[in-house]
Amino acid sequence: MESTLIWLITGIFSALIIIPYWIKFHRSQKEAAERKKEAQELGIDRPRAQFPFVDQSLCIGCGSCVAACPEGDVLAVVYGKATVVNGLRCVGHSLCEQACPVGALKVGLGDIRTRPDIPILDEFNQTSVPGIFIAGELTGFSLIRNAVNDGKRVVEKIARDLAAQPSLRPAHAVDVLIVGAGPAGLTAALTAKTHNLSYLVIDQQEPGGTILQYPRRKLVMTQPMELPLYGWLKKTEYSKEELLAIWCEIIEKFDLRIKTGYRLESVVRKDNLFQVITSGGHFLASKVVLALGRRGTPRKLGVRGESQSKVMYQLLDAQSYTNQNILVVGGGDSAVEAAIGLSRQKGNKVTISYRKPAFFRIKKKNMERIEELIKKGRVRALFQSNVVEIKQKSVVLKCGEEFLEIPNDFVFIFIGGLPPFDMLKQMGIQFGGEIREIEETGARARRPA
C-alpha cells in the first residue's frame, strides 16, 4: 500500500512537470511549423541574397543557430531540425554558422547559376573578365565587414599577380583603379598603399558609399574588423556620423587618392590595359576593382504626380520635418527606419504603404519598433496597398479593391533601386542566370533528337 502511494505521488509530480513542458514544446513546434508553411507560401524561405543553408543530415536540432541570430525569426527548430522560416531577414552576420557545433549550417548565396542578380566570381572575386574584380555589395553579400574583407582580398590578389608579371605595370597607367569610395573601395585603396601599388579611387559622390544614404544618427551593426594601416574597429555598433568620421580620418591620415564627381560609364580592354571611361574623363589601369553598391538609381513608382518636389527617395534628417502629413512607401528596412524617424518628430502624421500583407524582410529591432509605433497609433500601416496618384495636397492609394485619399505634404519612396547590371554585362561580366542559360542551351543542343 505504501509503495503504491509513493508511485502515485511520484507520477503526479512527474505529470505536473512533464505535461506543461510537453504542452509548451508542442505549441512552439506548431507555431514554428506554421511560420515555415507561411514562409513557403510567400517565397521567403528561398535565397534572395545571403542565406543560411542547413544540412538536415548533420543538424542535431540543438537550437544554437536560432539563439545566435541577432535578427530573429530567420531560423527555427521544427520537429528536431533547424529550418529557415524567413530568409529575407538574413543579413549575413554568420553568427549562426559559427554557433553550430556540428557544422550543419553555412551562410552563402546558394547555386548562383540560378541567380541573374549575382555575378560569376572566382575565389578571389575576379569576374569572367580577367583583371576586373568585384568587392562589396555587388557580390550579393551585405555588411561592412564583408565589404572590408573583399577590398583587402582582391587587392592582395592583384598585388601577387602584378609582382609575378612586372610587364603588367606600365608607367602611364595605375596598377589598380577602384570604382567606389565606400568601405570596400577605401579598404582596397589602403591595401594598395600597403603593397606599394599605384592606384586611384573614383566615385560619383563623396566618400562613404551606401553609408551616405543613411539617416542621421542611424546605428549600423558590425563586428570587430581590422582595416589595413589603420587598425581595428572594435565596437559592434557605430552611428552613421561615427563611421563617416573614421573614413574621413583615414582618407586624410593616409592621403588616399580619390576623385569625386566621376560617374562610371564603361570599362573596355585596350591592349593589355583597361580603359575606364567616366563622366569626367578616361583612365588607364592594369586591373580594375568595382566596389559599387547594388542600389543604383532609385526605382520610381511611375504614377501621376511623382515628379513633384515633395516626392523624395532618401531621408537624411528626420528632424527637418515637423507638423506634416507624410507618406512612406516601401516595406524594407529603409522605409521602416524612415517611418520610425519621422513619427518621432513633433506633430507628424506618418502613414506607411506596403504592397504586401506584412513586413517580412526587416531587421528584428526595426520590426519591434515599428510594431510598437503602429500599436500606439504613431504610424498608420496600410498593407496590400499601392499608390495610384500623388496630388499637391493629398495621395490616392488603392487598398485591396477600394481607393483611399489621404492628406499629404511629403512622400518618401523606398522601393529599391535599379542596379548597374546592364553596364556590367556590357563590359562582358557574366551573371548566374546567363551561365545557366548557356548550360541549358548546350544541354539541349547535345540532346539526341
pLDDT at 29: 57
Mean pLDDT of 93-98: 80
Q: Compute CA distances 410 → 301, 308, 342, 374, whole Å.
A: 15, 10, 11, 19
Same-domain status, 170 and 214:
yes
Residue 278 contacts residue 262 (beta carbons within 8 Å): yes
Q: Is residue 123 part of a domain?
A: no
The CATH code of the domain that includes 157 is: 3.50.50.60
How many Å separate Cα 364 from the centre of its chain?
14
Model pLDDT for residues 189-241, shown as the tens digit of each residue: 999 999 999 999 999 888 876 666 665 656 565 678 889 999 888 887 777 78
pLDDT at 257: 95
Highest mean pLDDT among 100-114, 230-244, 266-280: 266-280
Q: Is residue 445 part of a domain?
A: no
Model pLDDT for residues 20-44, shown as the tens digit of each residue: 655 665 566 566 566 556 555 555 5
Same-domain status, 286 and 138:
yes
Integer Cα distance of 403 and 325 in angstroms? 18
pLDDT at 444: 34
Model pLDDT for residues 7-23, shown as the tens digit of each residue: 666 667 666 666 665 56
Encode 269-316 in three state secondary structure.
Answer: EECCEEEEEECCEEEEEEEEEECCCCCCEECCCCCECCCCCCEECCCC
Same-domain status, 242 and 325:
no
Same-domain status, 143 and 200:
yes
Q: Indicate the average pLDDT of the chain.
A: 82
Same-domain status, 328 and 407:
yes
Question: pLDDT band for position 449 (50/70/90)?
Answer: very low
pLDDT at 329: 96
Q: Is residue 116 part of a domain?
A: no
Q: Is residue 444 part of a domain?
A: no
C-alpha grid cell, residue 436: 545557366
Q: What is the DSSP string of 72-105?
A: -SSEEEETTEEEES-GGG--S--HHHHH-TT--E
More confident residue, 143 or 386: 386
Q: Is residue 142 part of a domain?
A: yes
Same-domain status, 166 and 285:
yes
Same-domain status, 278 and 424:
yes
More confident residue, 72 or 369: 369
Q: Is residue 2 part of a domain?
A: no
Mean pLDDT of 406-418: 91
For 215, which DSSP code? P
pLDDT at 256: 94
pLDDT at 59: 83
Question: pLDDT band for position 278 (50/70/90)?
Answer: very high
Decide if pLDDT at 111 tops 60: no
Is the full-model pTM beyond 0.75?
no
C-alpha grid cell, residue 27: 505549441
What stretch of H or E contains 423? Answer: helix 421-426
Question: pLDDT band for position 399 (50/70/90)?
Answer: very high
Same-domain status, 176 and 47:
no
Same-domain status, 276 and 335:
no
pLDDT at 235: 80
The CATH code of the domain that includes 77 is: 3.30.70.20
Q: Is residue 126 part of a domain?
A: no
More confident residue, 209 or 391: 391
More confident residue, 355 or 79: 355
Model pLDDT for residues 154-184, shown as the tens digit of each residue: 999 999 999 998 776 777 899 999 999 989 9
Same-domain status, 220 and 255:
yes
Split into its structural domains, the chain has a count of 3
Question: pLDDT band for position 274 (50/70/90)?
Answer: very high
Same-domain status, 167 and 263:
yes
- Residue carrying C-alpha cell 507638423: 323
Host domain of residue 383: 300-415
Q: Is residue 290 part of a domain?
A: yes
pLDDT at 362: 82
pLDDT at 18: 66
pLDDT at 139: 86
Model pLDDT for residues 292-347, shown as the tens digit of each residue: 877 767 889 999 999 998 999 888 778 889 999 999 999 988 899 899 999 999 99
pLDDT at 286: 94
Same-domain status, 154 and 49:
no
Residue 397 contacts by C-beta under 8 Å, 6 or more apart in sequence?
A: 353, 382, 385, 386, 387, 388, 403, 404, 405, 406
